[in-house]
Amino acid sequence: MNYYSSVLRHSNPLVGFIPSKSYNVFNVVRGYPCISKGLSSTHTSWTSKKRMDSSCGISSLHLDLLSSNNLTLKIGQRGMKIYTRTGDRGTSATFTGTRHPKDHEIFEALGNIDELSAHIGLAREVGCARKHQYCEQLERIQCLLQDAASAIAQVQPLPSGGLSPEETSSDQSSPWPSSGVNASHIQELEAWIDEYSETLPPLRNFILPGGGEAGAGLHVTRAVCRRAERSLVALKPAYALDPNINKYINRLSDFLFTIARYASIADNCKEVIYINPAKPKKAPPCAESQKLTDA
C-alpha cells in the first residue's frame, strides 16, 4: 500500500482524481497501481454527473489504465498516508513499477507539469477574482495536464535502435501510452488563441512580463510552461511519449501569452513594452538622495 501511495504522490497523475473522503487501500495484482471501473458508479456521492462527464472527473483514460491491470480500490476509513518513507533514499517509482532517482528526467517532466498546473491554478484564482472569462478554460487545461501526467508516468524506454514515435507507421499500434490529449484539444487551444487575439491590439513590440497582477502571473505561468516543454523534449530521444502532449504544451504557452495580454488590457493596466536600452537615459536622483545631498 505504501509503495503505491508513493507512486501517486510523486508522479502525481491521479492525485486530483482521488476523492478526499473516499479513502484508499490498494490490492496489487500485477504490479501496477490501478482503480477498477466500478469507481465511477460507487463514487456518485462525491461528484456530480456533470463532473464525471467532464475531463476533470475520473476520465475513461484513467479507468482503462487502472482497470486493465486488475487492481481494485477498497474504501477504508483512515485514508492514504501522505508520507511513506519509501523515497527517503532519493528514489521513487513510476506507474511501470520501475524505481528511478528523483532527479530522473521522467520525474523532472512530471514535476514541471505539476508546477505548471499549480501556476495555472494560481492564475485562475486571480482571474476569477476579476471575473475574467478564461477561468473555466484554465480549469479544463489543468484537467488535460493531469491526463498528460498519467501518460508520462507510464512511459517505457524505446528499444535501442528502434523507431521514434514520429517514425512509427500508422498501421502499427502506438508505442506510447494514451495520454487523453488529441488533435481536437490542440485545435481548441488554437481557436481560443484566435478568439482572444481578435480583441487585442496588434503585436508590434516585444512585451515584457508585467502589466498588472493577473497579466504578470500569466507571464510567469507561460515561462513555466516553456520549461515543461523543454523537459518533455528531453524525454523524447529515449522514451515513447505521445507527441500530442508536446504539441499541446507548445500551443499552451502561446495561449497563456495571449490571455496575459488580454488580462492586462481588461484590468486597464499598461502593457510593458521593450525599449532598446542602447542609449540609457540618466535617471533623475530620487528624493531621498537629494535630501542627503542638500544636507
For residue 178, report the phi and psi dihedrals to the nearest 5 degrees. Answer: -65, 135
CA neighbours closer than 13 Å in the CB half-sphere of residue 60: 5
| Four-way CATH pick for 103-158+177-273: 1.20.1200.10, 1.10.8.60, 3.40.605.10, 3.40.50.300 | 1.20.1200.10
pLDDT digits over 280-292, tens only?
766 655 544 444 4
Structural domain boundaries of the chain? 2-93, 103-158+177-273
Radius of gyration from C-alpha coordinates of the chain: 23
pLDDT digits over 101-155, tens only?
787 888 899 999 999 999 999 999 999 999 999 999 999 999 999 999 999 998 8
Q: What is the pTM of this model?
A: 0.69
Rounded CA separation 137/236 (Å): 28
Query: Per-residue b/e over 158-183, b at no fewer than 16 CB within 10 Å?
Result: beeeeeebeeeeeeeeebbbbbbbee
pLDDT digits over 163-217, tens only?
554 554 444 456 666 778 999 999 999 999 999 999 999 999 999 999 999 999 9
Q: Which of 74, 77, 99, 96 is nearest to 88 (CA)?
A: 99
pLDDT digits over 211-240, tens only?
999 999 999 999 999 999 999 999 988 888
% of the chain residues with pLDDT over 90: 44
Q: Which residues have C-beta within 8 Å of that of residue 164, sequence separation ≥ 6? A: 158, 236, 237
Q: Provide the grid cell at 206.
A: 516585444
